[in-house]
Amino acid sequence: MFKAASIPNLDRLWEVFLEVMASIGCKDCLCLKNFLGLRLPRIHAAPNNSEEPMTYAKTSSWRKIRSFILWSPFIQVFKKHRYPWIQLAGHQGNFHAGEAGSVLKKLDAREQKCFQRLMTDSLKDFVPEYRGNVEKNGETYIQLQDLLASFTQPCVMDVKMGVRTYLEAELEKARKSPTLRKDMYQKMIEVDSNAPTKEEHQQKAVTKPRYMQWRDEMSSSTELGFRVEGIKKTDGSSTKDFKKTKSRENIVDIISSFVASNEAIAAKYIKKLKEIMAAQESSSFFRSHEVVGSSLLFVHDAEENVGVWMIDFGKTESLPGDKTLDHRSQWQEGNREDGYLFGLDNVISIFEEVHTGLSSSSV
Ligand code: I3P
């Protein structure tokens, strides 16, 4: 029998479980996500990037282990009480499950400072609650409200706001000491092999601002002031394949599919978005910060519960002195404008277009 004192060890037990699973399964395969009910791929790539796909059907012992663990009381309890954090965007490995109803995110000093200020700002109800810091395995994490905790099999969409996703300070730094990034060159040619210049092809590397600017222009960020980063549907399938999604028409289709053509859900999102915008327009925090790389997290479920929150403040920086932004003016380097509200105007108008389309088709 479990003693009360041994309950905190559940975290350690879960970590050990993950380690064991990682050693049983293939590196980078989605087996763990399967257990958490996120996705059930039937085929995954064979080791060493071989062209031949390998199926689990060949390994019946593996299937037995999988169903044994999947239906073990531990996993069932875990699934019921601690809905896994679904990371659609952002840095891999930055999140852990926290206390029930919380998630842990690796501490970033700038982000922590933002959360501390937000807890006393008019935006408080539109961001996850900040519940202090937690030490775990020698790392410090901020503990945040799990925004998915009150939903049943939620659909989730991450929309990165603003016309640019890099700080002015990053541009300046890169000019002074340019660092070449081979990983970013690789990500660039995976999307478009013609995107790098002749020189970049020779170096097989690009600078970070160059990559970020290219990403903003390839997607809808530069033109519309936001981009869809990732969507997870209620069936557990998820995609982040939106790097080249740029046109308003394409986004209308994506949003229609995200709300599963449900007029009531679209209407609730519009209401929430307008509430967020009103809160932002009257927020002293929002006025006095350059808000870059921050997302709106859209969440709904089949019971038509709907929520929208502002998340990710790692690149939200306070402005000097009493400088303020209107978040709608065009960005020119030096004015620090980020186009957040310009983007939100467009998000709302796209949801309205989707809603109008759904109401006219239901007449
Ligand atoms: C990443 C994305 C992240 C950025 C990261 C990029 O590109 O722009 O926002 O992190 O930079 O690699 P992609 O979405 O195309 O994968 P920051 O916002 O923290 O700068 P990084 O590789 O330097 O972390």
Q: What is the tens place of the pLDDT at every residue in 249-264?
A: 999 999 999 999 999 9
**Closest C-alpha to ligand 1, atom 16:** 187
Shared domain check, 222 and 210: no
Q: Name the residue range of residue 118's domain.
A: 77-145
What would the pLDDT profile of 301-314 be if each residue is shown by its tens digit? 999 999 999 999 99
What would the pLDDT profile of 343-358 be if each residue is shown by its tens digit? 999 999 999 999 999 9
The last residue of one of the domains, among 71, 88, 122, is 71
CA distances from 8 to 4, 11, 144, 213, 242 (A): 9, 6, 18, 45, 40
Atom of ligand 1 nearest to the CA of 212: 8
Please check whether residue 5 lies inside any domain of the structure: no
Report residue 204: phi and psi, to 5°.
50, 40
Please check whether residue 253 lies inside any domain of the structure: yes
Please check whether residue 336 lies inside any domain of the structure: yes
Q: In 3D, which of 273, 331, 340 has the Cα closest to residue 306?
A: 273
Is there an atom of ligand 1 within 6 Å of 315 CB?
A: yes
The last residue of one of the domains, among 50, 71, 92, is 71
What would the pLDDT profile of 91-136 be if each residue is shown by its tens digit? 767 888 888 899 999 999 999 999 999 999 999 999 999 999 999 9
Helix axis angle for 10-24 and 73-81, nearest 10°, is: 120
Question: What is the whole-number distance in angstroms between the Cα of residue 211 and the centre of ligand 1?
Answer: 9
Q: In 3D, which of 339, 326, 313, 322 has the Cα closest to residue 117?
A: 313
Atom of ligand 1 nearest to the CA of 215: 15
What is the number of other CB atoms lying within 10 angstroms of the CB of residue 356?
12
Shared domain check, 114 and 44: no
Shared domain check, 225 and 331: yes
Shared domain check, 269 and 200: no
d(CA 197, CA 193) in angstroms, rounded, equals 10
Shared domain check, 186 and 291: no
Please check whether residue 277 lies inside any domain of the structure: yes
Shared domain check, 226 and 350: yes
Atom of ligand 1 nearest to the CA of 208: 23
Shared domain check, 228 and 206: no
Buried b (16+ CB within 10 A) or exposed e, 73-86: eebeebeeebbbbb
Q: Can you tell me the mean pLDDT for 3-20?
A: 52
Give the type of residue at 154: P
d(CA 128, CA 106) in angstroms, rounded, equals 15
Please check whether residue 247 lies inside any domain of the structure: yes
| 289 pLDDT tier (thresholds 50, 70, 90) | very high
Structure confidence at residue 28 (pLDDT): 36
**Closest C-alpha to ligand 1, atom 4:** 90
Please check whether residue 357 lies inside any domain of the structure: yes
| 11 pLDDT tier (thresholds 50, 70, 90) | low
Q: Can you tell me the mean pLDDT for 290-300?
A: 98
The three-class DSSP label of residue 233 is coil
Shared domain check, 349 and 243: yes
Is there an atom of ligand 1 within 6 Å of 160 CB?
A: no
Question: What is the whole-number distance in angstroms between the Cα of residue 160 and the centre of ligand 1?
Answer: 12
Is there an atom of ligand 1 within 6 Å of 221 CB?
A: no
d(CA 182, CA 318) in angstroms, rounded, equals 31
Please check whether residue 1 lies inside any domain of the structure: no
Structure confidence at residue 9 (pLDDT): 55
**Closest C-alpha to ligand 1, atom 23:** 208
Question: What is the whole-number distance in angstroms between the Cα of residue 189 and the centre of ligand 1?
Answer: 16
Mean predicted lDDT score pLDDT of the chain: 83
What is the number of other CB atoms lying within 10 angstroms of the CB of residue 344?
24
What would the pLDDT profile of 155-206 be if each residue is shown by its tens digit? 999 999 999 999 999 999 999 999 999 999 999 999 999 999 999 999 999 9
Shared domain check, 56 and 30: yes
d(CA 338, CA 166) in angstroms, rounded, equals 9
Structure confidence at residue 234 (pLDDT): 86
The CATH number of whichever domain residue 269 belongs to comes to 3.30.470.160
Residue 104 tokens read as 């842990």
Please check whether residue 324 lies inside any domain of the structure: yes
Shared domain check, 336 and 269: yes
Question: What is the whole-number distance in angstroms between the Cα of residue 241 and the centre of ligand 1?
Answer: 15
Q: Give the chain's domain count.
A: 4
Say yes or no to pLDDT of 74 above 60. no
Shared domain check, 193 and 255: no
d(CA 29, CA 342) in angstroms, rounded, equals 39
Shared domain check, 250 and 326: yes
User: Element (H or E) spanning 70, and its range?
Assistant: helix 60-70
Query: What pTM value is reported for the model?
Result: 0.79
Say yes or no to pLDDT of 78 above 60. no
Say yes or no to pLDDT of 81 above 70. no
Q: Can you tell me the mean pLDDT for 61-74?
A: 48
What would the pLDDT profile of 242-252 be if each residue is shown by its tens digit? 999 999 999 99
Question: What is the whole-number distance in angstroms between the Cα of residue 105 and the centre of ligand 1?
Answer: 16
